[in-house]
Every structure is written in structure tokens, then in C-alpha cells.
Chain A
């Protein structure tokens, strides 16, 4: 692979950067992949975008909680042995355990109380899988020279660049939706490399559960976290929506590279 940037028509010393969007629905969510490059019609960009969506579909095949034929659902009903599963199942399980520990249980993949009660709590790692899947899929774009990209899954997103663009890639201005007035912005954050995750109830009604009580968190507002990795940005955003003060305190100690904004 050439290390030189893609040939650019130089105009007043600055190449004109184009922009192209790729959109599809995977995991029941709208996926938006945006690319900035001097030539956004390059076939290698479109091929990498295909790989992004293929990666997301593969992960959905493994981890979907809504499809009875996903590997995880087959595992849960005993139709597949744990030893025959894709190694990613173990990777996600370890992240789920780590997320519960690092958030002191503000985030959990075990609804119904894994620790406090006996019996079988339902393992649902969706809150880990989403961020992890976007990071995994984004790897397909990081090898493409001469681009900056932003990959969003339903409002949680990763910004990145091709390797040759580090230090000179265009930034993405990420608007943070105002939970009090859907369709408007409460603020924005400029990102070149990194992740932005928002947790709240605005878009699909209350769905976040406080693991400490089992109650649905139904307060208005949202929590947004900006940081290096979407898995942890998403985990902390969920934890901060459940308990902004406690999550903020824990983040200062345990995840100082992540920034929190609570609306």
C-alpha cells in the first residue's frame, strides 16, 4: 500500500474534501457511515463500506437477542455448546463482567440481579455488543488511505481516519441532541479520533433499568460520554443516565480519559 496521500487537485493550497454517506439498517438500528476524502467515489472506499456493514451483520448473527437463530440465543437454550461458540462470545462476556465491576453495578448485562438473587438472571449483553460492533466494523475503514470517517449506530458513533491521515484529518462536528426538544441540538463536540455515546429515554421511551432497584429509569434528559472507545463510552453513558452523580464520581477515578455531559 502506498504511503503517499491520494492525488489531490490542489486549489489554493488546500485540497477540496468531498463527503459521502452509506446508510443501512443492521441490528434493528439505522447505521450511518460518512466518509470525507478528496475523492469519495474511489472504489476502495465503497468496498471498505461494504465490509463495515458485513461485519455488523456477522456480529448480529452471533449476538442478536431478537433473533431466535442467533448463536447467543441458541447457546442460551442449549442448542449449542459453549465450547463450540465463536471466540467473540467469550470476549463479550469478559467485557460485560468488567463493565459491571468498573461501574459498581450501575451497568449490568444481567437483568434480574446476577449478584443479589439466586436463580437465573437473563444475560443480555446488547449494551456491550453495540459499541463493540461499531468499533470492530470501524477497523475496516482505518486501513483505507486518505480518509476520515464517522460510523454511527443509532446515535452512538466512532470517528477515525486512515493511518496516513493521523494529525491532519478533518474533524467531525458532532451535534448532541437536546433531549428536552427532540430535533434540536443542546451542544456539539469536535472529534477526529474517538467515540461519542448518548444514553437517554428520548428516542424510544424509557428502556434503561437501574440495576440496583430493577426500576426503569424514567427521568427526562440524557447522558453523553466522549472518549477513546465506544464500548466504554456507551457503558459510562448508560451508567451516568442511571446515576449521574455516582457515575461521574467513578469516571473521575476509573476512566479519566472519558468526558461526561449530563443533560
Chain B
């Protein structure tokens, strides 16, 4: 598998999984950027990768259609929080 993804974050991928990441540079140009970067710097390390998926709040992936939704990771999370 490949190993990369460098822009602001250098990421190591092995066997399709992110195994290491390193923040290369964080822009602090304007207040909104600061606010976002204070929180949105990716946390992509071995510890998180090996964590149980129960800790995942939401899912980003290639577009899920309404037909594929029922089997999706997001659907399982949704079911736990519908009221």
C-alpha cells in the first residue's frame, strides 16, 4: 500500500491504515483559522488507529448512497442515537 498524504500533516499508511502522522505546519493567519486549527489538527496516530470504533462519532468515506446506507458504519452510529 502507499504511504503518504503530505500537506500540513505528514501521514504514514501501512496496509491501508494510517499508522503515524506528524503535523508539519499550522497556519495562524486569521482568527477563524486559529479557531479551526486549535481543534481540527488531525489526530491520526497509532493509538487512535488501534482504538475501538465505539469511540468514533461520525464517519467520512467515499460517498454513501441511500441504498448502501443501511450497511454503513454511519448507519450503525445513527441507530444508537435516534430518539
Contacts and interface: CB of A to CB of B under 8 A. Distances in A.
Interface of A: 19-23, 25, 28-30, 32, 34, 40-41, 150, 152, 154-157, 159, 166-167, 171-194, 196-204, 221-224, 226-228, 244, 248, 251-252, 256-263
A155 B40 contact: no
B39 A262 contact: no
B57 A34 contact: yes
B60 A197 contact: yes
Contacts of A185: 49, 53, 56, 59, 73
Interface string B1-24: 110111111010101111001000
A175 B60 contact: yes
Nearest to A130: B63
B42 A259 contact: yes
B6 to A, nearest CB: 6
Contact of B7 (A157, A180, A188, A259): A259
A47 B21 CA distance: 40
B65 to A, nearest CB: 5
A134 to B, nearest CB: 12
Q: Chain B contact residues (Cβ within 8 angstroms of A): what range?
A: 35 or more
Contact of A180 (B1, B25, B55, B71): B1
A230 B31 CA distance: 18
Per DSSP, are chain A's interface residues mostly helix, strand or loop, or mixed?
A: strand
A252 B7 contact: yes
Which 5 A-B pairs give the minimum distances between C-beta atoms? A177-B61, A187-B18, A180-B16, A200-B62, A175-B56
A179 B42 CA distance: 18
A242 to B, nearest CB: 14
B73 to A, nearest CB: 6
A187 B61 contact: no
Interface in B25-83: 25, 27, 29, 32-33, 35-44, 48-49, 51, 53, 55-66, 68-69, 71-75, 77-78, 80-83
A199 B71 CA distance: 19
28 contacts: A21-B78, A22-B82, A23-B82, A29-B65, A32-B78, A34-B57, A152-B58, A154-B65, A155-B62, A155-B74, A156-B60, A171-B39, A173-B57, A174-B56, A177-B60, A184-B53, A185-B56, A187-B21, A187-B42, A187-B44, A190-B39, A190-B42, A192-B38, A192-B39, A203-B64, A204-B63, A258-B8, A262-B13
Contacts of B2: 221, 262-263
A171 B35 CA distance: 13
A236 to B, nearest CB: 9
Contact of A194 (B36, B51, B63): B36
A263 B59 contact: no
A30 B78 CA distance: 11
B17 A30 contact: no
A249 to B, nearest CB: 9
